[in-house]
Amino acid sequence: MKRFLTFLFAVLFLIFLPIAATANDPFGGVVISEVEQAGETESVEITADIIESESDTLVELEEPPFSPLPSMEINYEGEQSVSEDASQQKDQNKQEDKTAKPVAASSEKTQETLTSGVGTAVNAGGDVVSKAPAEAPSENTSEENNGSKIIDKISGQKAPDIDGDNYCGQYAASMILEYYGIEHKAQDIYKQANPGGIFTAPSTLLDSLRKNGIDSSIKHNASLEDIAKKIDNGTPVIVLANAVNFDKPGTDSPHWITIHGYERDENGKIVSVTMRDSYWGYYRNHTMDADEFMKRWNKPCGDSVWANFAGYKNLMIDINGTKKPSKTSSLFGFNPHTAAEEAMAGGINDFWTGWKNKSPTQLLGGTVKIIGGLPGLIPKCIGNQINNASDKLLNSGVDNWKNGNKLVGGFQCATGGLGKATGSVFNTVGNAMSSAANVLGNGIKKIGDLFK
C-alpha cells in the first residue's frame, strides 16, 4: 500500500509540475477570496481590434477587487487605475477579509440593481433564495436595433457568496442555477465540486451542473456565433478563457466565465461580449471586445510549450435549460475531443475531492482516470504539438501566398495540411485510449453516488 501511495503521489507531482509552470490557478481561474465591493452596475471595457473565431454578503470597499495578476490595471468609470504588487495586496486583502461584515448596499439604486431579477430574494441570514420555477425567465433579453442582446436577469443577479480559493467554476455554476430559479447555496456547490480549492475541470463543472438540475454539455471549438445563438434564445453560456495579463508573461490562468450578452456593429459583426465572473464581473457586468475575448478563449491555458500540450480551444459549457437533478455521475460526462485532457484534469479533481469529502469511490475513480489515462496522454500531447506547429506553418503559408511568394506559400500550406492530418491521427488514438479510463473512473464514482 505504501509503495502504491508513493507511486501515485509521484504521478500527481509530475502532472502538477507542468501545470504549475504555466498557470497561476489552473482551471480555478482568477478569483477573489471574499471580495469586498459594492457599487452600481457598470461595464468595464477593454478596446482592441476585432477578429473572428472558427467555429452573493455585500461588504464595503472603496477600491476594485484584488487581482492576483501582477500589475493588472482595471479602469472603473469614475475611478483611477489600480496597479499594485500582487503578493502584498493579496496579504492585505486576506487581513481585511477576516474583519469584513455584511452591510446594506450604499443606495436604493444599488440595492435594486444587485437584487433585481425574477423570483430572487435574500432571507434574514443573507442566503440567496430562489422562488421562481426552474425554467428560463421569459421576456428577459434586451435587444437593440443592430441585433445586440443582453440577458438582463444575469446583469442584476447578486454575486454568489463563496468562501474558498479558485472558485470561478462554482461562481459560474451558481449564476446559472440562480438564473433558472434553482434554490441552492453557492458554498455547497463549492464543497461538492472543488472543496480543496484547486481548480475545476470541464467534466467536473459539467457533473456539478447536472447534479443540480441543469441540462448541459461540453462543446469543443465553439464560435462567437454559437454564443450569440444561445443568448438569442435567452440562455447564457459558460466558457473557459485565459485571465492572463498579456504584459506579464507566465501569468496564464484558465478561468470560467458566464457570457450573457453581445454587441454587433452596423455590419452585423460581433464586436464585444458581456460577462459575469469571479474576477472582471464580480458585482457588475464587464464588457470585453471580441478580439480580446477570442485571444483569451482560443488558448485558455496559454501559449507556452507546456500549455500547448492541452488541446482545449474555444471550450463552451452549452446550457440547455433544466432537468431532473442527476443522482449519479454520467459515464460519458466528458467531450471525446479532449478525453485525454479530461482524464488528467478530471482525475485530479475526483482524487482530491474524494480525499477532502472522504469518498473512497470518488478517490479511486480519480486514481483510475489518472493512471489509466497516462498511456493515451502521450499520443495526445504529440498530436497537439504537431497541430500547433502545423497551424503556424499554415498561417505563414497563407501570408506568403498573399504576398506573391506562391512557391514557398504553397509548400508551407501543403506541409501544414499534412501535419494537421498527422496530428489528428495521434489525437484520435490518444483520446480513444483515455476515453476508456474516463468511463471506468466515472463508473467507480457512479457506484459511490448510488450509496449517498
pLDDT digits (tens, 9 = 90+) for 103-115: 323 333 333 333 3
Domain region containing 252: 2-326
342 DSSP 8-state letter? H
Phi first, then psi: give them for residue 430, nearest 5 degrees.
Answer: -65, -45
Burial class for 68, CB neighbours closer than 10 Å (0-12, 13-18, 19+) = buried
Q: Does 346 share its domain with 364?
A: yes
- In this structure, the answer to whether residues 193 and 119 fall within a common structural domain is yes
Please state whether beta strands 254-264 and 149-151 pair in parallel, antiparallel, or not at all (unpaired).
antiparallel
- One domain, residues 54 and 137: yes
Domain shared by 442 and 367, yes or no: yes
Select, from the ranges 50-54, 71-75, 219-223, the one with the highest average predicted confidence (pLDDT). Answer: 219-223
How much is the average pLDDT of 206-212? 97
User: Are 274 and 342 part of one and the same domain?
Assistant: no
Residues 89 and 177 in one domain: yes
- 64-68, 222-226, 267-271: range with lowest mean pLDDT: 64-68
Joined grid coordinates for residue 57: 454578503
- Read off the pLDDT of residues 297-316 as tens digits, 9 standing for 90 and up: 999 998 877 787 788 999 99
Residue 147 shares a structural domain with residue 277: yes
Residue 250 and residue 106 share a domain = yes
Same domain, 314 and 338: no
Average pLDDT over the chain reads 77
**Mean pLDDT computed over 228-251:** 93
| 428/432 Cα distance (integer angstroms) | 6
Per-residue pLDDT averaged across 217-237, rounded? 96
CATH of the domain at 319: 3.90.70.10
One domain, residues 298 and 436 = no
Report the percent of the chain where pLDDT is more than 90: 62
Q: Give the C-alpha separation, 299 to 166, whole Å.
A: 19
Whether residue 301 is found in the same domain as residue 426: no
| pLDDT exceeds cutoff 80 at 246 | yes
Other Cβ atoms within 10 Å of 330 Cβ, number: 16
Closest by CA position to 258, among listed 321, 319, 312, 302: 319
C-alpha distances out from residue 203 to 38, 92, 216, 255, Å: 33, 34, 11, 14
How far apart (Å, rounded) are the C-alpha atoms in residues 415 and 413? Answer: 5
Residues 154 and 175 in one domain: yes
Q: Name the band, by pLDDT with cuts 50, 70 and 90, for residue 439.
A: very high
pTM of the predicted structure, to 2 decimals? 0.72
* Averaged pLDDT, 247-276: 94
Strands 45-46 and 286-289: parallel
Boundary-marking domain end, from 326, 350, 365: 326
- Which is higher by pLDDT, 128 or 350? 350
Over residues 122-133, mean pLDDT: 35
What is the mean predicted confidence (pLDDT) over 172-191?
97
**Domain C-terminal end among 326, 348, 378:** 326
Does 27 or 260 have the greater pLDDT score? 260
Integer Rg of the chain from CA = 22
- The type of residue at 104 is A
Total domains in the fold of the chain: 2
For residue 36, which of 167, 185, 161 has the smallest C-alpha distance? 161
CB within 8 Å of 237: residues ≥ 6 apart? 227, 230, 231, 258, 259, 316, 317, 318, 319
Q: Which of 326, 348, 383 is the last residue of a domain?
A: 326
Q: Please give, one letter per residue, the 3-state secondary structure of 356-397.
A: HCCCHHHHHHHHHHHHHHHHHHHHHHHHHHHHHHHHHHHHHH
**Considering only CA atoms, which of 151, 96, 148 is closest in space to residue 118?**
151
Q: Does pLDDT of 235 surpass 60?
A: yes
